[in-house]
Every structure is written in C-alpha cells, then in structure tokens.
Chain A
Amino acid sequence: MVAPSRKKLLLIGRSGSGKSSMRSIIFSNYTAFDTHRLGATIDVEHSQLRFLGNVTLNLWDCGGQNSFIENYLTTQRDHIFNLVEVLIYVFDIGSQEVPKDMETFKRCLDNLQEFSPNAKVFVLLHKMDLVRVDRREQVFNATMMTLHAHANEFKFQLTGFATSIWDESLYKAWSAIVCSLMSNISALQSELETFAKVSSVQEVVLFEKTTFLLVAHATSDDMDSSSQADPKRFEKISNIIKSYRQSVSKLRTQLHSISLLSNNCVAVLEPLTSNTIIMTVLPKHSADTNMVISNIKASKTRFEELESKSNDLP
C-alpha cells in the first residue's frame, strides 16, 4: 500500500503581511475582498490540502506577532523547523521596519539550515499593489538584492516573487511553489508536449482542479514566436476561471467545461482526470473542437497513471 506523501510547508512572515489572506484565496476560494474578514492568526494554523490527489500539503500558517515568532525561533524551533520541505517567507513590501524583518528572516534561515538543510526557500514580496506600477520592478530587484546579501552565508537558493492579492501574481508564485514539490511534473510536461503535437494545437495548459494552479503547459513553436499571447496568461486564466467558478456557484451547480470560439481564439477547457483540468488553444479559425475533446478523453487514463506515479517515488 502506498501512503500519500506529505509535504510540510512553512508560511512565515511578520504580523499583517498577508499570509492567511493568500492561503485563503489559493486554497479556500476566498475572493480578495473577502480577506477583510480574516483576523490575526494565533500561533500556528495547520491545514492539510490535497494537491493532485496524491500529495498532501501540510501547510503551517505561522502567526506573525512578535511573541509567536520569538517562540518559533527559541523554544519551539525543533518542532517548527524539522522536516520542512518548503519555507515560504512573506515580506510586506510597505513594511516600516525592514532591518528587523531582515534579522528575523536570517534567524529563520539559520534554524532551517540546522533542521532541514534541503528545504527550498521562496520569498514573496507581498502587497506589491501598494507600489506605483512603474517602480515595481525596481523595488522588487532592490529588495531581492538585499535579501540575497543577507542570505549568502546560507546555502539556500532564494526564489523571489512579487505578489498581490488584487491581481493574478499570487497564482504565479503559488504554482511555482507547489510544482516544486511534485516529483512527476516533468513527466506530465512531456506528456503534454506529445499531446500538443499529436492534436496539433497551439497550446495545452494543465491546471489543478480545486486551486486552479498551473501544473504544466506546452506551447507550440509557431505560437511562441508570435508575441500576440499575453505572457502572464496562465496566472490570468487561473484568476478568471476561479472567480467565474465562484459566480457559477450561485446557480447551485459547478462549472464543468468551457468552449470558446471567437475571432481571437478557439479554446476548450475540459476536465481531464479527477484532479486536473486541461485547457487547449487551437489555431485560429479552426472550427472543429470535437477532435480535441475526444483526444482529451482518450488521454485521460495516461494522465491518471502519471499522476498516481508521484506515490512511488521516495
């Protein structure tokens, strides 16, 4: 018997930086507006989330008030930092106490090095919407530079994302985080590429069903070269479909599939396996979506096999 693999994710950052808000949006279908209702997280909130069916994400949302942080770093440190797969550190980009944030960040890395030296570290520079649009990139680069400078005594590779709950950037960051935990992504990826080639479609995108995070995508060469497609399209699709799904729930039912035939694009969004949704984009002016839909149905078993494989790996 194979037990579903468990992955421990630590979500840390100072109080009010937006940790619980992002968790609620990604995993509990909150809208950005709903997060106003959330109160402060007391101590650690554990949530178990299934991703692609077989992987259980054990998300530790650590309350960020000073006394809690002090506890995590002293008395509870073996409990908190043991067996961590991913550390997600959230910085409030508008924070007034940057030196203190950096200090805490360093202490966290220090503990992580001791207890889980193989963990991956993601830093999210959050609340980017508060920074003026033309300065965002500059602010992001400057802050990442400071962070790298602070972290260079540790051997962790930092991956940084600029995020905001008010746009799709959050989905991009979380897709990267969650996919870094999946062992079978590359297999899914190559399967998608085959699928794209066989069905001669422009693009295939695979999403996880409940969170609608991007799992993998394959893009044909002739579409890569044309710059018409939006580079942020995957996160945007997650965002659009997720809010549409909320709206559909008013009719007391759930979204099953979408098929789109317009001047700009011909696309099909269909459930693939019980955990994934696939979106295929066909060349413009191709009128027949039925072939793709049957191809999707035909490849269902193959993808199911691949998904369950994540169990076998250590």
Chain B
Amino acid sequence: MISQGTREQKILLMGLRRGGKSSIRQVIFHGMQPIETLYLESTTKPTSEKLSSLANFVIEEIPGQVDVTNPEFESSKVFKGASTVIYVIDSQDEYLLSLQNVVQVISQGYKIDRNIHFEILIHKVDGLSEDFRLDTKRDIIQRINDDLVDIGAYDADVTFHMTSIFDQSIVEALSRIIQKLVPELSSLTQLLDMFCMRTGVEKAFVFEASSKIYLATDSSPVDAEIYQVCSDFIDVSADLGGLYGTSANTGNSDGREFSTSRFNNGSVICLTRLIKGCLLVCLCTSETDNKITLVEFNADVFREGMEKIYA
C-alpha cells in the first residue's frame, strides 16, 4: 500500500466574491472572532493555509474574481492534484449566479479528475429563518443536480452542507470534509469505538489542536452541544496553561498532558494530547474516581495505537 500521509492533500476554497471564503479561513485558522470578519478586505491573490496533522492539508483560496470560464484560466493547473473543492454559496444573496458558476467549476474539475470531492457550502444560513433555510437548501440542491445531469456529470461526488461562521456548523462541515481525506479514518473510528466501549465513555473526538476541527470520532452520532463544550474546554486548558507558561506552541510538544473538567451532574470531560498535534477529548457521563484513571490509561493505549498506525 502506498502511504498517502506524506503527500500534501490540496483543498481548493472557491466561490463568487463576497461569499465568505476569507471569513471562513480567518475564523477557522486564525481564531478571528466571527463578528470581526465584517471588516475583512476582499481577497485578490490566491492564499493558502497549511494544516499539518494526521495528513498534510493545503487549503488554497481562489479569489472570487477569477473567472473559470475565461479561456486563460488554466483549469488543468488549478484542479490537478486537488482532492477536494469547497465551493461557498452565499445563501442570503441572489444565488443564481453562484449556481451557474458552481456547475461550471464542477464540470471543469470533473473533466480533469473524476475523484475530486465537491463540497458545496450553503453559507451564511444564520440570516435565514428556519423554514426558509430548508426551502433554500432544497432549491439549491435541486437546481445544481438538474444542471449536473444536463452536462452529463451526474456521478460527480457532490455533498451539501449548511454552514454559518456564527455557530459550530462551519467547523462541523469542515470536519466532515477533512475526515474524508484522512486515509486511516476507518481504523481510527474503530479504535475510538473500542476505546469508548471498553472505557465506558459516551463520546470521544480526535481534535486537531489549533483549528479545533475534529479529524475522527467514534461512530455514535455527534451532538452539537457536546462538541461545543469539548471544543471550549480545549480553549480553556490552553488559555489557562498559557497564563503560567512560556511555550505557547503546544502544537509540537508531545509531552504528557491530561486535563479534566467535572460537572455537577457527575459527567467529566477528559483531554489528552496524542501525536501530531492531535488531542483526544472525551465525555464520560457517569464518573467515579476509578473511571478517570481508566480513561487516562486507555488514552495512553490509544496513543500507542495511533503511533503504530502512523509509524
């Protein structure tokens, strides 16, 4: 088997201008407050972000001004080697133009590589009312699928996500998108399932520490609240630690780390550092003192398992 871990996975971030691409990039990778993104300038040059964790990802933002239909647009160069195209549609705006554009993007990308995942973000849904949200979603999906059938790209791999930077939906969507690119995902999920079952843990996530995207989780459904609190606890432990220490870059240090946060109803969140800048965060609902020790021990075993996978 050829290991894909060493190769960089290219993710393109596309969409018409003012769709919210840069805001997403800033909020996820630079910890910007969502409200501050109002003041972002329009992006003119292709910009890229690197995310090195279980695999190396490069997220390239293609400015909205770039016209894919223009003959000078070197589609082969852009789409070559891309594993995923994330296309951002502003759902609060007139989106018909976006839909035309996205179909062109898909048709061009599809010609170059049939295996590209196309991930359509129906973005800025925070501004739509609950009913209207579903209508918009249905409308967009319907129109795109119709057009794709028309151009003969009916088997392109297209997925839709409803997102907003003002809640966790954007991290959730990006987590799902990036998980598809983690080659060892199924082994990790299995490992996590085993961990949860043996330890008696409700839910476990493997987080990428800096962006707080989760790269893997056990196979039980993800509860948005649990995810949110787990992700906030990562912040709390990093922030509190930062007040007393010098080394702010916790990303590289693979030293021992084990933090817990107990709640009045008896549940506990535990956080341990794994390898490659990943954190294991899990929630146990029934807590006894032995349980924490068990979690700590099994987390070590889990880390060893991961080390073997990535050896």
- Residues of chain A at the chain B interface (Cβ within 8 Å): 33, 228-230, 233, 236-237, 240-241, 243-244, 247-248, 250-265, 267, 281, 284
B258 and A265 contacting across the interface, CB-CB below 8 Å: no
The verdict on B96 contacting chain A, using a C-beta distance below 8 Å, is no
Q: Chain B nearest CB: distance from A283 CB in Å?
A: 11
The 3 closest A-B CB pairs, nearest first, are A264-B245, A265-B244, A264-B241
> Given A262-B237, A263-B245, A247–B229 Cβ distance below 8 Å?
yes
Number of A-B contacts (CB under 8 A): 108
Residue from A248, A254, A260 within 8 A of B259 (CB atoms): A260
Which residues 259-287 in B have Cβ within 8 Å of A in the complex? 259-265, 267, 273
- In the complex formed, the residue of B with least CB distance to A255 is B263
Given contacts A247-B228, A263-B245, A264-B250, 4 further A-B contacts (CB under 8 A): A250-B228, A255-B261, A264-B242, A265-B240
B247 and A264 contacting across the interface, CB-CB below 8 Å: yes
Residue from A33, A230, A281 within 8 A of B35 (CB atoms): A33
A263 and B257 contacting across the interface, CB-CB below 8 Å: yes
CB-CB under 8 A from A262, the residues of chain B are 237, 241, 245, 250, 255, 257, 259, 273
CB-CB under 8 A from B264, the residues of chain A are 253-256
Q: Chain A nearest CB: distance from B273 CB in Å?
A: 8
CA distance A257 to B240 in the complex (A): 14
CA distance A263 to B258 in the complex (A): 10
CA distance A65 to B236 in the complex (A): 40
Show 27 A/B contacts (Cβ-Cβ < 8 Å), sorted by A.
A228-B244, A228-B246, A230-B242, A237-B243, A240-B235, A240-B239, A244-B235, A248-B229, A248-B232, A250-B229, A251-B263, A253-B263, A254-B263, A255-B261, A256-B262, A257-B262, A258-B236, A258-B237, A258-B260, A260-B237, A262-B255, A263-B241, A263-B247, A265-B240, A265-B245, A267-B240, A281-B244
B239 and A236 contacting across the interface, CB-CB below 8 Å: yes
The verdict on B77 contacting chain A, using a C-beta distance below 8 Å, is no
A253 and B265 contacting across the interface, CB-CB below 8 Å: yes
B260 and A233 contacting across the interface, CB-CB below 8 Å: no
CA distance A243 to B240 in the complex (A): 13
B253 and A263 contacting across the interface, CB-CB below 8 Å: yes
The winner among A248, A254, A262 for most chain B CB atoms within 10 A is A262
CB-CB under 8 A from B239, the residues of chain A are 236, 240
A244 and B236 contacting across the interface, CB-CB below 8 Å: yes
- In the complex formed, the residue of A with least CB distance to B225 is A250
The verdict on B134 contacting chain A, using a C-beta distance below 8 Å, is no
> Given A248-B263, A253-B267, A263-B253, A237–B246 Cβ distance below 8 Å?
no
CA distance A289 to B173 in the complex (A): 38
CA distance A254 to B264 in the complex (A): 5
CA distance A243 to B229 in the complex (A): 11
CB-CB under 8 A from A254, the residues of chain B are 263-264
A261 and B267 contacting across the interface, CB-CB below 8 Å: no
The verdict on B95 contacting chain A, using a C-beta distance below 8 Å, is no
The verdict on B226 contacting chain A, using a C-beta distance below 8 Å, is yes
CB-CB under 8 A from B243, the residues of chain A are 229-230, 233, 236-237, 265
CB-CB under 8 A from B226, the residues of chain A are 251
CB-CB under 8 A from A229, the residues of chain B are 243-244
The verdict on B308 contacting chain A, using a C-beta distance below 8 Å, is no
A261 and B256 contacting across the interface, CB-CB below 8 Å: yes
B245 and A240 contacting across the interface, CB-CB below 8 Å: no
CA distance A223 to B262 in the complex (A): 28
CA distance A236 to B242 in the complex (A): 11
CA distance A261 to B256 in the complex (A): 8
Q: Chain B nearest CB: distance from A202 CB in Å?
A: 8
- In the complex formed, the residue of B with least CB distance to A257 is B262
CB-CB under 8 A from A233, the residues of chain B are 243-244
